[in-house]
Structure 1
Amino acid sequence: MHQSPSKPESRLASITFFAKTHPGDVCGSNGLPLTPNSIAILGRAQRLKDLKHPNLCQYLDFVRGKHERTIVVSEYFGTTLQDKARDALLEPLITRILYQIVCALKELAEHNLVVHNLEPKHILLDDCDNVKLFNYGLYHMTRCGDYVPFPIGNVRYMPPERFLGAKNNIKSDIWSLGMIVAELLLQTTFWPNMKISNITRKILSFLQVGNVFEKIAREHNCLERYAQIHEELRSLIELCLSVAPAKRPLPTELLSHAYFSKDLNTYTYTEPPKSNVLLYRCPLEQIYYWWQLAGGDVQAELKKEGLIRSEAPILAIPQIVCLNGAIVGPKRSQSYLMDDRVVPLKLHNLFEKLCNLPAMAYFPLIHSPKFPHNFGAGMEQLPLVIREKDIEYQFYRVRLFSRLLKGYPYTSDMIRKEAAKDIPPYLRGPIWACLLDVIPIGSYEKIDKFTPTSTDRQIEVDIPRCHQYDELLSSPEGHCKLKRLLKAWVTAHPQYVYWQGLDSLTAPFLYLNFNNEELAFLSLYKFIPKYLQWFFLRDNSAIIKEYLCKFSQLTAFHEPILAKHLSSINFIPELFAIPWFLTMFSHVFPLHKIMHLWDKLMLGDSSYPLFIGIAILKQLKSTLLSSGFNECILLFSDLPDIVMENCVLESQKMYECTPKSVSHRLHVLREEPLTEFDITPDVTLAHLQAELCPRISAKDFTNLLHHAPSDMCALDLRSAVEYSHVRVPHSTNVPFVATQLSEPRLDTLGVPQLEELIQGRIVICISNTHEHAVQFSKFLVACGVLRVCILHKGFNILHTIEPNILISN
């Protein structure tokens, strides 16, 4: 057993700030209200989560609070350089710090990022004197500071060109680095008691100076220390403090400088010893996810530290509001000012929750029969909502799936098997990609996503209406990504056109893979042929008609009374179900509901969405049965709240108990060719429209007869003479010629105990004359009989099956 230490150190911290507010009622060029700056920050910040480098603190989360507040959660541990430098540091350590900061800047430059916020309190050192930069993404996430009401960066370390308006140059960070190292070498803080305006003038005065480092040393009476610095190191700092940015070295040039090459091993990152605390060996983003499940709340932590203060709204009411929108009133509260305090997030609660877990659970062995990997097996019976919030269960699932995903595609069968139980929300994006057999190969980069096309106008109209309640999808970054994905899909499918609804279909994949556009694109690329084959053709009427026709038949199969009622008031699926199936319900349900629905959908075949549709009708059954045509139209125009867990369970149950051929459609992507014992392509749309009940294939019929005879009831509609010659085992003869179908009551058929016979079974109508089976199946549906279908190709097909299944007299 793994026991937690008495005082776990915190590895996470948060900072908070306010975004700039827009003036009241300002709209953009498209006539829509402007996106709040805090949402824009949220969108831009996401890419920072992908930065993983030994010299950079990892960003973990960005939370949007009230009144444009943004909260940033990131890795944070060790000592700040500001604290460390209170004692004089030796030259080798200063060189090590310099080298590792340059490594961090090189990594950022490769991602086209700059810091512009470099100062000693944002440089952390661990026990091995490894450097990690903290809060380096503030400038990027606020779009060069445009989204916030305060300046970014410490004036003391800013280069002259920043005061003159230059930005986004990595060489500005090289100056800041030079100033920080110069302070360390001269063992002093520059201009400690000087006003900001005077420091600004001082730095601008350097534009007239040849050697800035020497000038600063002279000003601070440190010439003697300046002279004692190693000559090569001194020239390196002088180079970093060149007034002209062009003369300053790039990070790559600094790293290859001769001064470092002499003793490179003492300067490079030292891998810290592995922690005895197993939790710390897990990825930091997983620790943060579990911390939240264990009751962690960033906003509550900030409140405790006084960084979030509640004030009476009445104090903020303006005294005068001018017609132009200007406001006269109380000054903005002090609590809205920038407060750069760092609040560590305590992990005690998480340790308490996980302290009794077996060590094996941290690193499950998935191919060793001796060691179980199915931890938490007893909790699978609990409702999904509870399982998703249970810290212990989610710990087991995340660790297991993390291992399985590393082995993909070789572990794809195990991933599918585990996903059938449930999918942890934390890993949903990559798990869906595995279930769709996605293997990224870099193809997305090669697709043209920028050349204007005829569909651009429609895409631009649709995107600002697509799941805009979600903060990520409503951000400018979210809009750009969604546009790129849609354009890429249209470009990659010249045979298809952009239909409205494709944006809603793409949104869940983008939401789950916001930082991995290729995975989002490939998931969509695989999803559409699997579930919506040929739906996006320019003329998709035949495909949609066939789909809706099959939906009507399956509704009659599972809900005959409801189907009969809807048919009687002429409320056809064309009036409500097209947006359901064209967008796989992503247009009619919010994202959080779609997630659980698609978790099950991904495990089913192309027929699964039809059962979801029936499950929705089932939930609305009592309302629909008491409604006329107009009431039904109103009901579906504003769909009531659907209990998604019931919908998922119900659709799963129907999907599993329905023979595959009953939901057969011609327009699907097939892995195996059809045989004569399947439902053959000669069944046209006209046939489907004329038949209320679905057909079952001879293959499925034989399968039921051999393996589950108690689940079926075969009604043979041939004459008594034909039946006496040859028949199906366990079948019941109901000669069609002798039946009275005018009155929808089973007792008019004169078959003893027929009701008990068909109760809870699949009822299969078999006849030599197809029209007889069609009429009789309609009669059974009118009687309210569940799960009625017709044997495709009638009784004659059964003669050709080998080995013979018929009984002859």
Structure 2
Amino acid sequence: MKPLRDAELGAFTFFASSLPHDVCGSNGLPLTPNSIKILGRFQILKTVTHPRLCQYVDITRGKHERLIVVAEHYSRNVGDFRQGQTVLQIAYEVLEALQFMNKHGLVHRALSPNNVLMDCKGNVKLAKFGLYHMTDHGADVDFPIGHPSYLAPEVIALGSFHPTDPSHDEAPKPSGPKTDVWSLGIILFELCAGRRILQNIEISEKLKFILTLGCMDDIVTVLAEEHGCLEVIKELPENVVELLRKCLTFLPSKRPTPAELLGDPVFDGISCHYTPFQKPVSLFSSSLRCAHLELPDDISELCKDDDDDYLSERGIDEVYHLWCLAGGDLEKELTNKEIIQSKPPVCTLPKFVLEDGEWFGQGRDRSFLLDDTTVTLSLCQLRNRLKDVAGEAYYPLLEDEQASLPQSNSSNELSSTVTLPLIIRERDTEYQLIRIILFDRLLKGYPYKKNLVWKEARLDIPPLVRGLAWAALLGIEGDIQAKYDSIDKDTPIPTDRQIEVDIPRCHQYDELLSSPQGHIKFRRVLKAWVVSHPDLVYWQGLDSLCAPFLYLNFNNEALAYACMSAFIPKYLYNFFLKDNSHVIQEYLTVFSQMIAFHDPELSNHLNEIGFIPDVNVFPLHKIFHLWDTLLLGSSSFPFCIGVAILQQLRDRLLANGFNECILLFSDLPEIDIERCVRESINLFCWTPKSATYRQYAQPMKAGGEGIFGKTATYSSSDYQDMPKTDLSREPLALCDLKAEVSPRISAEDLIDLCELSLAGPSKRHKSSKPKIVAVDIRNVEDFGRGHISGSINIPFNSVFGPDGELVQCPAAGVLQNYKGRVIVIISHAIKSAALFSAHLVKVNVSRVCILDGGISKLKPTGLLTVPSPQI
């Protein structure tokens, strides 16, 4: 995104055509409003970046099909050009812009002096070049695209068209690049003549005159004679007149395209002063991003005065995002300029006719036609909000330990902002500026700065850079576009039908994803994944998994595909096998064990009513905050998120039966996502690594530091990341896994958890307490032959009889003194440990788990102690 510099932010508004309310499409669903179609088509325009084009920034949808477009804007247009400039320079720069647009499949069609803007240096900036594209060549609006005085003859000959017009059997072909060349010719002629032509004539006369030009050999001379400026035109340089004649060629077949005209000899004298535009290299590509980086000879030129406008060096999208956070309101700005005018309802009644022919009511509301006015958005409020931010904050030192702390005169205020709830931080203008700048610099250094991206993401991720930040957290690298392009997304496959059925149902509340462009991109990304993973199949729900990645990378399908392809193996490994029943069953069983481990009372109730909760139903805005943390976690972290969600619904679940719980999850109540994230991290930190072991999870290499930094106690990495040893947890048959209420943990996990206890009181910090209590349920004799230091002995036969019946219940009372710790049941026989742990869960003892392999796993370690004989 180009920097703001001397540009302003401008906004203009128009209405899309309304559709009948009682008409459905071929799929039986209501027709997509034209405003949503326009919103979807608009998105690609944000990626069309060129020095000669005004950058599109945003589009918002209001009431009654109103759309407001925000774009780069300048107050001067080509009518204000200065003496130092020549018509040839203006023509060349306009043609540069048109050629670049044509390469991207765009035609301006609305070219007029008002849309040929000029910056402070006199460089051309074409505005509103995307109006023709976003409105589907004018089909989705009730007004014509382009000013009649500047439309090419072939456009006028087609007449007006609207899809609902019964007089047209089919839509006319879209205008081509040559139509803009004619419009440019008229603009250049007016600049040369020093006056506007065809401005004071009725539209019908204008059109008739333009069409009669087809009989003329020299249109330039005819126009000059018609408007009394023949002498002025005769005094023009020959190459300028030649340019005008080529632009104003009546027949499109003989008129040159912008690309052809750029190479014409008429520009030989000035083309050498212009260098070809080189598009910046994207973050994920095989090209060097700094290959064309040049430093000035005098490095002091980089140093700026304290009063410099640092904000203007930020990207236009950043400035607009901050403008909105600082209280910017598009509708309010347009209302203040009287572009949006509210009318009493009685004034908007339609026209009706009585039997005698007398009619009442309003004529056509002209406010629904295009108002070409662009309103400049004032940045005063934003600049005032950021006035205390020091210049150093715009250029943070990444290696400094304090780099993540906001640098400003109000640093104390900003430091306190870090402790505020996430929803408040995301709306704080000053705080977001600091975070956006920091992430922008880190991402530009990716993958070299990958560890710092992870570090900062633990605090929060600015919404503006979330798409790229997620890609960095997922480890996306390389030329993703080339890989995506190499996948066949066009050849029909059997899955096409299922994808077509699922997409119209996916996130239809979201304007962007429900647009036709959104559906097209959904199909392409999903099909690319299916085709590139022949060993996996499409299951319903994959579209919902794709939705967050597509929403954040709407204009970068390759990145959406790459993120989804990296996410699935980590968190949903083998979920999309043709026969995935064993994977799903194992996953649900481990989830049930996690509920029993953290909340036995809730687990007992859910098992009693036979309800299996489904917590995978969230709108996008909820998913974002949840996944910001999820992507920092291992494949076991989703279990903790699920338990945290259930605990927010705990009271309602405990009070209801099966049918009520089904209804509860079919219309999920409001969930406090920030609380959910906070509690899920806490649950994760209290869950032994091996407790969530799944034999069908993705095998991975050994991982590094704790995913949540110092907040994690012992669940710092995925158990699947760890190298297997004799003390590791062994795979378990699904039937045996289902038979156990509590999870198993490995011997190596037990040793890690007992580290403080084994160190002895002299080596233990005074304030630290062991997080674990080992409960040895062997008989007294076996316990005396060797046991874990610090463990307590509750013999199995003191609680259960020979046939496994419950005799008495002393265990729960004994363990009350150890409330809050992880309780590990150790035995000779796993069945005895499973029965004992199930009993503890039944009486609502939390954090109960079983030592996998029993005491025999610990005997080779030499860690078992024998009590000294008493003398």
TM-score, with structure 1 as normaliser = 0.92
Residue by residue, what CA displacement relative to the aligned partner does 1:172-226 show, whole Å, maximum 9, x if unpaired?
1011111111111122211231111111111111111112112111222222222
1:242 to 2:249 alignment: yes
Tell me the residue number matched to 1:21.
18
Counterpart residue type for residue 470 of structure 1: D
Q: Which residue of 1 aligns with 2:530?
A: 490
- The Cα offsets for residues 71-107 of structure 1, whole Å up to 9 and x where unpaired, read as 000010241123x16xxx6585222111111111111
Partners in 1 of 2:122 and 2:531 — Cα distance?
51
> Residue 430 of structure 1: CA displacement?
0.7
Aligned pairs for 1:309-708 (under 5 A) are 309-317=341-349, 330-368=362-400, 375=407, 376-441=414-479, 442-571=482-611, 573=612, 576-577=613-614, 580=615, 585=616, 588-672=617-701, 673-681=723-731, 683-707=732-756
- Give the match's secondary structure for 2:695: coil
Verify: 1:214 aligned to 2:214, yes or no. Answer: no
C-alpha offsets along residues 510-554 of structure 1, whole Å, 9 cap, x if unaligned?
A: 111111111111011111111101111111100000000001111
Does structure 1 conserve the Cα–Cα contact (< 8 Å) formed by 2:812 and 2:845?
A: no
Q: Does 1:258 align with 2:318?
A: no
Amino acid aligned to 1:472: L
The alignment status of 1:39 with 2:36, answered yes or no, reads yes
Which digits, 9 at most, give the CA deviation of each residue in 1:362-391, with x for residues without a partner?
121212569776554442211011001111
Q: Could you say what secondary structure the match of 1:765 adopts? A: strand
| Counterpart secondary structure, 1:710 | coil
Q: Which residue among 105, 109, 121 is the counterpart of 1:116?
A: 109
User: 1:3 corresponds to which residue?
Assistant: none
AA at the equivalent of 2:230: L
Whether the 8 Å CA contact 1:365–1:372 is kept in 2: the answer is no
Cα distance, 1:553–1:312 mapped onto 2, change above 3 Å? same
2:100 is aligned with 1:51: no
Distance in 2 separating the partners of 1:456 and 1:752: 57
Task: State the Cα deviation string for residues 289-311 of structure 1 (Å, max 9, x = none).
Answer: 00000000111101111111222
SS of alignment partner, residue 633 of structure 1: helix
Alignment pair present for 1:179 and 2:196: no
SS in 2 for 1:233: helix
Whether the aligned pair in 1 keeps the contact of 2:55 and 2:71 (CA below 8 Å) is yes
1:335 is displaced (CA, Å) by 2.8
Distance change >3 Å, CA 372–CA 546, structure 1 → 2: closer
* Separation in 2, partners of 1:369, 1:553: 41
From 845, 853, 856, give the equivalent of 1:793.
853
Q: Secondary structure at the match of 1:67?
A: helix
Post-superposition Cα deviations, 1:771-800, rounded to whole Å, max 9, x if no partner, equal 110110011111111100000000010112
Does the Cα contact within 8 Å between 2:513 and 2:519 map onto a contact in 1?
yes
SS of structure 1 residue aligned to 2:392? helix
**Structure 1 residue 456: Cα displacement:** 1.3
2:763 alignment counterpart: none
Given that 1:174 and 1:240 are in contact with CA atoms closer than 8 Å, whether structure 2 keeps it comes out as yes
- Alpha-carbon displacement from aligned partner over 1:5-33 (angstroms, at most 9, x marks no partner): xxx98710100011111133121122211
CA distance in 2 between partners of 1:235 and 1:355 (Å): 53
Q: Which runs of 5+ in 2 are unaligned?
A: 159-172, 278-295, 408-413, 702-722, 758-768
Letter in 2 for 1:353: R
Q: TM-score, normalised by structure 2?
A: 0.86
* 1:116 shift after superposition: 0.3
2:772–2:822 CA contact under 8 A, matched in 1 = yes
How far does residue 337 in structure 1 lie from its aligned partner after superposition? 2.9
Moved more, 111-120 or 327-336: 327-336
Contact 1:763 1:789 in 2 (8 A): yes
What corresponds to 2:794 in structure 1?
734
Stretch deviating more after TM superposition (700-709 or 755-764): 700-709
Note the C-alpha offset of 1:360. Answer: 1.2
The 1-side partners of 2:403 and 2:436 are apart by 18
Partner deviation per Cα, 1:646-703 (whole Å, 9 max, x = no partner): 221111110111111011111111214532222122x111111110000011111010
Identity %: 45
User: Which residue is 1:710 aligned to?
Assistant: 770
CA contact under 8 A between 1:533 and 1:667: conserved in structure 2? yes
In structure 2, the residue corresponding to 1:617 is in which secondary structure? helix
Which of 122, 130, 139 is 1:146 aligned to?
139
Instruction: Note the C-alpha offset of 1:747.
Output: 12
1:328-383 Cα deviation digits (max 9, x unpaired): 96434343232111110000000000011011111212125697765544422110
Give 1:805 deviation, angstroms.
5.2
In structure 1, the residue corresponding to 2:446 is in which secondary structure? coil
Once residues 689 and 50 of structure 1 are traced to their aligned partners in structure 2, the CA distance between those partners, rounded to angstroms, is 52
Shift of 1:140: 0.6
Preserved CA contact (<8 Å) 1:741 1:779 = no
2:174 aligns with: 167
Q: Which amino acid aligns with 1:659?
A: P
| Cα deviation code 1:634-656 (max 9, x no counterpart) | 22222222222222111111011
SS in 2 for 1:800: helix
Distance 2:697 2:151 in 1: 62
Task: Tell me, yes or no, if the aligned pair for 2:467 and 2:552 is still in contact at 8 Å.
Answer: yes
Aligned-residue offset at 1:314 = 4.3
Name the SS of the counterpart of 2:773 in structure 1: strand
CA distance in 1, matches of 2:314, 2:801: 69
Tell me if structure 2 keeps the 8 A contact 1:440–1:518: no
Counterpart of 1:292, as a letter, is C
Which residue type is aligned with residue 191 of structure 1? L
Choose from 60, 64, 71 the match for 2:61: 64
CA distance in 2, matches of 1:489, 1:786: 41
Paired letter, 1:690 = A
Report the RMSD for the aligned CA atoms in angstroms: 2.7
Q: Match of 1:779, SS?
A: helix
Other structure's SS at 1:247 match: coil
Q: Distance in 1 between matches of 2:830 and 2:360?
A: 82
Question: Kindly tell me: are residues 291 and 133 of structure 1, through their superposed partners in 2, closer, same or farther at Cα, counting changes over 3 Å?
Answer: same
Change (3 A) 1:751 1:257: closer
The CA distance in 2 between the partners of 1:606 and 1:267, in whole Å, is 53
Question: Does 2:92 match 1:104?
Answer: no
Residues in 2 aligned to 1:600 and 1:268: alpha-carbon distance in whole angstroms: 45
Consecutive unaligned residues in structure 1, runs of 5 or more: 1-7
Does the Cα contact within 8 Å between 2:645 and 2:676 map onto a contact in 1? yes
Match of 1:280 among 298, 305, 312: 312
C-alpha distance in 1 between matches for 2:404 and 2:505: 48
8 Å Cα contact 2:801-2:807 kept in structure 1: no
Distance 1:750 1:535, change over 3 A: closer
Structure 1 CA distance, aligned partners of 2:34 and 2:813?
71
AA aligned to 1:366 is L
Distance 2:230 2:655 in 1: 93
Whole-angstrom CA distance in 1 between matches of 2:620 and 2:399 = 35
Q: Is the 8 A contact 1:798 1:806 kept in 2?
A: no
More deviation, 288-297/161-170: 161-170
